[in-house]
Structure 1
Amino acid sequence: MREKLEFLVCVWFLLCGSSLARFVVEKNSLKVTSPESIKGVYECAIGNFGVPQYGGTLVGTVVYPKSNQKACKGFDDVGLSFKSKPGGLPTFLLIDRGDCYFTKKAWNAQKGGAAAILVADDKIEPLITMDTPEEENADAEYLQNITIPSALISKSLGDSIKKSLTGGEMVNMNLDWTEALPHPDERVEYEFWTNSNDECGPKCDSQIEFVKSFKGAAQILEQKGYTQFTPRYITWYCPEAFILSKQCKSQCINHGRYCAPDPEQDFSRGYDGRDVVVQNLRQACVFKVANESKKPWLWWDYVTDFSIRCPMKDKKYTKECADEVIKSLGVDLKKIEECVGDPEADVENQVLKAEQDAQIGKGSRGDVTILPTLVINNRQYRGKLDKGAVLKAICAGFQETTEPAICLSEDVETNECLENSGGCWQDKAANVSACKDTFRGRVCECPVVRGVKFVGDGYTHCEASGALRCAINNGGCWKKTQDGKTYSACVEDHSEGCKCPRGFKGDGVHTCEDVDECKEKLACQCPNCKCKNTWGSYDCNCGSGLLYMQEHDICISKDNKSEVSWSFVWVIILGLAAAGVAGYAIYKYRIRRYMDSEIRAIMAQYMPLDSQADVHHASHGDV
């Protein structure tokens, strides 16, 4: 009896730590859209089970059952169904708190056809987190099968909704999880607070199954740099007054600094808490060493392999088995040993000390007190530990439209594009659509196909642009093959759009009709010409002995063709010769004139001419 009491005291310290522990209730938004009397935005607490629609919204109408109002038994037993009718809004079932577990209420509501469950508090108090029941009361089968989202609402809001429903008013609301997780940048940082103990019942089983199923997605996200993942391990300290007790000695290492509860909680058989702490430390060291070698994703391989090869039930939960797994993955075993250190030493272990410090909440994140817990972008995840649900939550941590392709996997995609392209633009002939499935729902966004970017609003039109646009469905332009000839209205320059080629007329998109050049007298109008229209062009023939020249639209003699050509050449040659002679004559004449004027000027200086003497005499007479 004394040992049991000491155990309970020790566990209380382990779980509660100190009176300063701060647990944060994670919330999402609830918007009542009708009736006017209660219209507004309210807070509600996200349940730690089911599948919250992180990153998305859910619209529905509220129903408060006439009987079984605490939902502690199946609604089939009372003849009620909450399945929405075709064309109707999903049903949000409002039920009262009390008499049975929250999870039982949610399971009964889900089986009754409800799309979500709202639990009205039975007293005026701050919102709390609805959690799963303790292990000894947990039914793993139905817990893992809860898929509808759940929310705890205040007593005052619950009373207001009931009053409106009693008065015959319809209550519609929108559950909004778009801001339940922050998404500050293009990389998501997340932590997984876990434990190596595999004998803690249904929670341990579901945790191991989650690690196995999520490993592939986690490694893809990490290897491509989309996420930064860190595994975390909760450890507690043993109160100083109990350090020398049998319980603390068997559950702790490093003189009571780092402890874990006994897996079987009996202190007499099987493995002790200290075995769990040492294995937790080894897993943390595997991540540390792998991360230093730029391969942090190896942690997922180690944890899954260890759970398969070294389970407690087979008495293989040992250092020797762990070392074999480490060596098989190529991780440096020596560095692991240095990281683990001496569990018996009366010193702090830097790795476990960091884990204890990280357990304390900072900023908007509260203390981590629930195992297992996911922390995404410094916000604690609430809901089912399931691959699809967790992946959807991580994807909600990316900025919109920056999500990696894995966020469109079958586990999280909405499949809205499968029917009528989700109402977005599509080109069935080219099998191109602007509909894009995301975990938030579909978006209409003009695509990029084989390097060709489409531009438009995504809803009514998208057009291929760029130099390669004609390679995709001919750029959305007209194209036709006839009589062995192919014509296209696609112009590589996107600014010109679709333009019918020469010889055709039309809008270039739907139609390009052949132009009858003969009928419209656009060609072959010369005398003796005979015009015949063809598809996209025309044929023009002259009478016998004549040849049609299309560029001049004339007929010329086939026999005179060469003569005319040579005569033309001789005319040019003679013309050039005449021009040369004339130029030479002009040149000679100008030179002669210039020389004569120079000679006359020189001679005038020495023997003035008669005319010059007369001019000189007249000048003196003026003075």
Structure 2
Amino acid sequence: MMGPAWWAVLVLLAMADAVAGRFVVEKNSVQVTSPESLKGKYECAIGNFGLPQYGGTLQGWVVYPKDNRQACKEFDVSFKGHKSGARPNFVLIDRGECFFTTKAWNAQLAGAAAILVVDSKDEPLITMDNPEDTGTKHLENITIPSVLITKKLGEDLKKSAENGDMVSVLLDWRESLPHPDERVEYEFWTNSNDECGPKCDMQMDFVKSFRGTAQVLEQKGYTQFTPHYITWYCPEAFTVSKQCKSQCINHGRYCAPDPEQDFSKGYDGKDVVVQNLHQVCVFKVANDTGKPWLWWDYVHDFAIRCPMKEKKYTHECASHVIKSLGLDMDKINKCVGDPEADEENPILKAEQDAQIGHGRCEINNGGCWKETKNGKTISACSHEESEGCKCPQGFKGDGVKSCEDIDECKAKSACQCNGCSCENTWGSYECSCGGNNMLYMREQDTCISKQAASSVGWSFMWVIFFGLVFAGVGAYAVYKYRLRSYMDSEIRAIMAQYMPLDSQEGANQQQHVAHAGDI
């Protein structure tokens, strides 16, 4: 249904060299209907190229080729059914040696209706992506769906196929629709820069070819897309540098690379950020008016009418394009804000949050280990992206495949005091002391008498009480002394203002005599 869009849905174009964006592993299921020993539903990951039949199903026979099992070259056999109306064949392919897209293309040429790629190791499933620098012209022509299955399921299917069993599977994309409104959601990471070489050319070719399809799908309510733009921030210590000033807006908060990689000529990175911001705001305003598909018109027209080579990559040119589409320029200007302001731009801040990815652990648990026991769930996923998968305290392991409980009692890392007994629990431990009158103190790893603890506790409280009393009395005495001294000095100063002048003169004469004696 989606045409060539899906190879570009979650690919980071243009600026992907600098910052890695977020993509979501899109899952569906493969249901084995025969042989009997393998019957059941299994998880698989959808490749983001070809034509997944979203909202539908496809059933076929599994074929495991005798040769070319990684499908890195063209097949010399046909997988197409020999009779009209025959059930399609799904080719089982081993992972490795070449791109996923190459495998799909070679299988499609041989008549396969879909490919099942068997993972080469036990790991969380990933999205099969198209290569960054393909060098292949067949990418847009791949029409068969592709899924990645686990190594365990793949090995079982291979064994059954090699034994001559009739292996039948059902690919089910109905559950891959992200929301109950049955619209397919996808994200398009793009960039307004038109001078970044082959990536920019490929991006604009895609926009030109898919624009009409995307708009029809959007208008009929089949899809919901969201464009995204990558930026990064300049370290605070360098915000006043020439590089940051030329590549960033909002005092170093949002930056893009210089289009020509030369700060002395042409357009700067900050120009790219501003135009990216315009495109996001066009989408926001168009979406608010119920016409999100106008974004495709704007991006397409802006690239044609406002290219960098003709020195038209400007706010004025962008304004003409926006007005020609009937969009409210005032709303867009308000959305863009002031690029010179020393403050956050909420639109670009949201874009940075999107590329970092919030709620990582909510999506397939971030690809990390997770287990539930006795109603308690423990995960190795951290919401801090930099920490990745890390077994929590009380566990050991790689955090991806497994985390094993540490037996603190056996390791003798807990409950080592005299009279202590240790009982290991899942992820922790519990210590107890012999006798009902003994209390275990975990911080000190010791056992004390409950009665002694009570006695010591009250004695300690009395010491604190009397200490506070004495401290209070002392503080009050000091306060009274300092207050009296202060009042005395104030009174003397006031009285001095009303002393007889002859007394002051006498005092002055005494001072002069004293000074004369010093000479």
Structure 1 residues 523-575: Cα deviation after superposition (integer angstroms, max 9, x where no partner): xxxxxxxxxxxxxxxxxxxxxxxxxxxxxxxxxxxxxxxxxxxxxxxxxxxxx
Match of 2:7 in 1: none
For 2:130 and 2:93, the matched residues in 1 are separated by 17
For 1:13 and 1:142, the matched residues in 2 are separated by 24
Cα 1:104–1:189, aligned 2, differ >3 Å: closer, same or farther?
Answer: closer
Name whichever of 314-323 and 97-106 sits farther off.
314-323
1:64 correspondence with 2:64: yes
Q: Residues 253 and 277 of structure 1 are in contact (CA less than 8 Å); yes or no, is this contact kept in structure 2?
A: yes
Structure 1 residues 158-206: Cα deviation after superposition (integer angstroms, max 9, x where no partner): 1111111221212111111011113423777765443223345565445
Match of 1:151 in 2: 147
Match of 2:74 in 1: 74
Deviation for aligned residue 1:303: 1.8
Cα 1:32–1:284, aligned 2, differ >3 Å: closer, same or farther?
Answer: same
- Aligned pair partner of 2:100 in 90, 93, 102: 102
- In the TM superposition, 1:199-238 aligns within 5 A as 199-200=195-196, 204-212=200-208, 215-216=211-212, 230-238=226-234
Match of 1:124 in 2: 122
| CA radius of gyration, larger in | 1
Q: Residues 322 and 329 of structure 2 are in contact (CA less than 8 Å); yes or no, is this contact kept in structure 1?
A: yes
For 2:177 and 2:220, the matched residues in 1 are separated by 22
Q: Residues 259 and 268 of structure 2 are in contact (CA less than 8 Å); yes or no, is this contact kept in structure 1?
A: yes
Amino acid paired to 2:170: N
Q: Residues 106 and 146 of structure 1 are in contact (CA less than 8 Å); yes or no, is this contact kept in structure 2?
A: yes
Deviation for aligned residue 1:151: 0.9
Match of 1:328 in 2: 324
Cα 1:199–1:84, aligned 2, differ >3 Å: closer, same or farther?
Answer: farther
Cα 1:242–1:115, aligned 2, differ >3 Å: closer, same or farther?
Answer: farther
1:347 correspondence with 2:343: yes
Deviation for aligned residue 1:334: 4.3
Give SS of 2:339's match. coil
1:84 correspondence with 2:88: no
Amino acid paired to 1:123: K
Deviation for aligned residue 1:207: 4.1
Name whichever of 106-115 and 82-91 sits farther off.
82-91
Give SS of 1:159's match. helix
For 2:135 and 2:33, the matched residues in 1 are separated by 37
- In the TM superposition, 1:352-501 aligns within 5 A as 352-359=348-355, 360-362=357-359
Amino acid paired to 1:351: I
**Structure 1: segments with no counterpart, 5+ residues:** 1-10, 369-623
1:15 correspondence with 2:11: no
Deviation for aligned residue 1:304: 1.9
Give SS of 2:175's match. coil
Cα 1:246–1:94, aligned 2, differ >3 Å: closer, same or farther?
Answer: farther
Deviation for aligned residue 1:60: 1.1
Structure 1 residues 341-385: Cα deviation after superposition (integer angstroms, max 9, x where no partner): 3323322112212333344344856899xxxxxxxxxxxxxxxxx
1:178 correspondence with 2:174: yes
Deviation for aligned residue 1:254: 1.6
Give SS of 2:33's match. strand
Root-mean-square deviation (CA, aligned residues, Å) is 3.5
TM-score (norm 2): 0.59
Match of 1:279 in 2: 275
Q: Residues 119 and 151 of structure 1 are in contact (CA less than 8 Å); yes or no, is this contact kept in structure 2?
A: yes
Cα 1:278–1:117, aligned 2, differ >3 Å: closer, same or farther?
Answer: same
Q: Residues 26 and 46 of structure 2 are in contact (CA less than 8 Å); yes or no, is this contact kept in structure 1?
A: yes
Deviation for aligned residue 1:141: 2.0
For 2:111 and 2:279, the matched residues in 1 are separated by 43
Deviation for aligned residue 1:127: 1.0
Give SS of 1:151's match. strand
For 1:367 and 1:331, the matched residues in 2 are separated by 41
For 1:308 and 1:111, the matched residues in 2 are separated by 36
Name whichever of 32-41 and 270-279 sits farther off.
270-279
Q: Residues 177 and 183 of structure 2 are in contact (CA less than 8 Å); yes or no, is this contact kept in structure 1?
A: no
Match of 1:318 in 2: 314
Cα 1:242–1:174, aligned 2, differ >3 Å: closer, same or farther?
Answer: farther
Amino acid paired to 2:31: K
For 1:46 and 1:306, the matched residues in 2 are separated by 33
Match of 1:134 in 2: 132
Amino acid paired to 1:252: C
For 2:254 and 2:343, the matched residues in 1 are separated by 11
Q: Residues 55 and 182 of structure 2 are in contact (CA less than 8 Å); yes or no, is this contact kept in structure 1?
A: no
**Structure 2: segments with no counterpart, 5+ residues:** 1-14, 367-519
Cα 1:273–1:80, aligned 2, differ >3 Å: closer, same or farther?
Answer: farther
TM-score (norm 1): 0.50
Give SS of 1:275's match. helix
Cα 1:288–1:156, aligned 2, differ >3 Å: closer, same or farther?
Answer: closer
Match of 1:30 in 2: 30
Amino acid paired to 2:277: L
Give SS of 1:110's match. helix
Cα 1:140–1:307, aligned 2, differ >3 Å: closer, same or farther?
Answer: farther
Q: Residues 49 and 130 of structure 2 are in contact (CA less than 8 Å); yes or no, is this contact kept in structure 1?
A: yes
Match of 2:297 in 1: 301
Structure 1 residues 113-134: Cα deviation after superposition (integer angstroms, max 9, x where no partner): 1111111111121111111112
For 2:182 and 2:34, the matched residues in 1 are separated by 37
Structure 1 residues 191-241: Cα deviation after superposition (integer angstroms, max 9, x where no partner): 544322334556544543454455556656766888776544333323445
Give SS of 1:179's match. helix
